[in-house]
Structures are given as structure tokens and as C-alpha cells.
């Protein structure tokens, strides 16, 4: 007769396996949609699901030649999809920016973005040809079979993968990488869909990620405007975008710091409680999770 602990471990593994399978299935559907049409929605889904599958493979798959190859393929296509998605967001942002445009800079920037969008679309279409996508699907199937889920704690992995703001001060240069780290942590936490803490963990990171994403959209558009029109004293559009990006930087900084601090504090009591209740068994589980990370 199986012990309660054995039954619980089996159920937890089944949940993790189901969630991992869903991640790969969504990625496969995203590849199929992208192969048919480079629409904003398909590009966005591919980019997001690419991040999710990368997080699982990087953390939970053994180092092999196929792992390196599939991560390289995903990153190449995701980067190109991401640049195209950024332009979609920037165009929407400018269209909704209701400010006087006496210098005609907003209209000129929209024209430049439309031209860049066409170039990026062609590049993505060329990279996402049938042969490349077929190879990606094949390598993803191999990697899915290599994912190791037994004995892991997704929330612990997510917490351990969170950036440490105390180590690097958050500036405009470091905030973007911090934002990517938060995304990866969130996607790992999503594996623990049925854990009581999982929804709070994911929601906290989602809020911080959204704030950081809004800053990133504004700052990339500001940089393009500066390159085209010069400084804030030369362009009213640049001045406005600078003010918006500064404001969003402060909001993103606060949101990220709050999320990381809150989640770190929330998980500490759980760790201490597990150690008292399970002693050696909990230590072994933590060790396995750390080894996987």
C-alpha cells in the first residue's frame, strides 16, 4: 500500500507533466500559426510561447547537443518575432499619443516604423520557412522527452532564478535584463498551477513584468526618435517620450523591487516550515531542485 507521501509525490509529478506538455503543445500551435500568417497576434503568441519553452528547457533539460541547437533556433526566431512585435506596439503607442505635432515628427516616425515593420516581416518570413520550422518542431519533440520533472519544486526554482536587485543597481541598462529574469521566473512558477502559492506568485510577477514592459516599449521608441530627430530641445516628440520613459522607469523599478521582495519574504516561512515538518526528506527535495536549477 502506498504511503500518503508517495501518493502526493505521484500526483504532483502528474500535474507537472501535464503543465509541461501544455507548454510544448502551445509552442507547437504557435509554430503552425506563424507558418501560415505573420499577423501581430501570431507573432506575439510565438514570442511568448518561445520564452516559456526556453525557460523549461534551460532549467529542466540535461545539457546535450540537441538542447543547445533547439535553444539557438528558438532564440533566433523569437528575437526576430520580438523585434516585429515591438514595432507593432510602438505604432499603436504613437497612434494613441494625442499631442500637438507641429514639427510633423510623430507622422514621420510612423512612416519610419511602417517601413521597418515591412523589413522585419520579410526577415521573419525568410527565417520561418517550412524547413526551419520543421526542424524546430523535430528538436522540440526530442527535448520534451528529456525534461526532468521528478522531485522538483517549481516555485523554489522560480524564486532561485529571480534576479537579485541588491547585487546590481537598477538602471536603464540593467532593468531590461532584470525584466527578462522575472519573465523566466514567472514561466517556471506557472508549472505549479495547483499549488496554493502559485497564483499569487505568478500574479505578482505579471504585474511587475507588465510595468517593465511598458517602460521598455517607451524607451525603445524614445531611442529611435532621438536618433532621427535629435535631442529634446530639437524635437517636442523626443521631449515627450523622454518624460514618459522616465516616469515608466520609476514605475517599473518600484514594481520589480516590490515583487521580488514580496515573493522572497513569502517563501521564507514555507521553507522553514517544510524543514521542521519533513526534516531530511524536505532537505533532499530542496537539494534535488537546486541541482536541477
Rounded (5°) CA angle 238-243-246? 120
45 and 181 inside one domain: no
pLDDT < 70 regions, the chain: 1-11, 165-168, 266-293
Domain C-terminal end among 91, 118, 149: 149
93 and 189 inside one domain: no
What is the spatial distance between Cα 256 and Cα 248, in angstroms, rounded to a whole number?
A: 12
pLDDT attached to residue 11: 65
Cell of 76: 533566433
Phi-psi group of 150: left, alpha or beta (phi > 0 → left; psi -120 to 50 → alpha; rest → beta): beta
* H or E stretch at 96: none
What is the spatial distance between Cα 242 and Cα 236, in angstroms, rounded to a whole number?
A: 10
5 and 135 inside one domain: yes
CA distances (Å), 266 to each of 49, 165, 198, 200, in order?
28, 17, 11, 10
169 and 135 inside one domain: no
Report the number of distinct structural domains present in the chain: 2
Cα distance from N-terminal residue to C-terminal residue, the chain: 33
60 and 176 inside one domain: no
Domain C-terminal end among 118, 134, 149: 149
159 and 142 inside one domain: no
The domain in which residue 273 lies consists of 151-293
Residue owning grid cell 522553514: 272
127 and 171 inside one domain: no
168 and 181 inside one domain: yes
282 and 161 inside one domain: yes
183 and 265 inside one domain: yes
Domain C-terminal end among 149, 175, 201: 149
143 and 162 inside one domain: no
186 and 83 inside one domain: no
Amino acid at each position: 500500500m502506498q504511503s500518503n507521501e508517495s501518493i502526493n509525490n505521484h500526483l504532483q509529478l502528474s500535474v507537472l507533466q501535464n503543465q509541461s506538455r501544455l507548454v510544448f503543445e502551445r509552442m507547437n500551435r504557435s509554430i503552425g500559426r506563424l507558418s501560415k500568417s505573420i499577423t501581430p497576434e501570431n507573432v506575439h503568441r510565438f514570442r511568448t510561447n518561445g520564452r516559456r519553452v526556453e525557460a523549461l528547457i534551460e532549467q529542466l533539460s540535461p545539457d546535450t547537443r540537441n538542447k543547445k541547437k533547439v535553444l539557438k533556433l528558438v532564440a533566433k526566431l523569437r528575437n526576430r518575432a520580438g523585434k516585429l512585435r515591438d514595432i507593432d506596439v510602438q505604432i499603436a503607442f504613437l497612434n494613441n499619443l494625442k499631442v500637438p505635432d507641429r514639427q510633423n515628427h510623430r507622422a514621420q516616425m510612423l512612416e519610419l516604423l511602417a517601413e521597418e515593420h515591412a523589413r522585419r516581416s520579410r526577415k521573419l518570413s525568410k527565417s520561418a520557412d517550412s524547413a526551419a520550422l520543421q526542424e524546430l518542431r523535430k528538436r522540440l519533440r526530442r527535448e520534451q522527452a528529456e525534461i526532468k520533472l521528478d522531485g522538483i519544486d517549481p516555485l523554489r526554482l522560480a524564486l532561485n532564478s529571480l534576479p537579485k536587485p541588491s547585487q546590481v543597481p537598477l538602471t536603464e541598462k540593467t532593468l531590461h535584463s532584470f525584466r527578462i529574469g522575472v519573465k523566466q521566473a514567472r514561466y517556471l512558477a506557472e508549472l505549479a498551477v495547483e499549488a496554493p502559492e502559485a497564483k499569487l506568485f505568478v500574479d505578482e510577477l505579471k504585474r511587475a513584468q507588465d510595468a517593465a514592459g511598458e517602460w521598455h516599449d517607451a524607451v525603445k521608441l524614445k531611442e529611435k526618435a532621438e536618433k532621427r530627430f535629435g535631442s529634446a530641445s530639437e524635437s517636442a516628440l523626443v521631449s515627450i517620450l523622454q518624460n514618459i520613459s522616465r516616469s515608466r522607469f520609476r514605475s517599473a523599478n518600484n514594481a520589480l523591487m516590490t515583487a521580488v521582495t514580496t515573493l522572497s519574504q513569502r517563501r521564507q516561512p514555507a521553507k522553514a516550515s517544510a524543514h521542521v515538518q519533513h526534516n531530511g526528506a524536505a532537505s533532499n527535495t530542496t537539494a534535488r531542485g537546486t541541482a536541477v536549477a
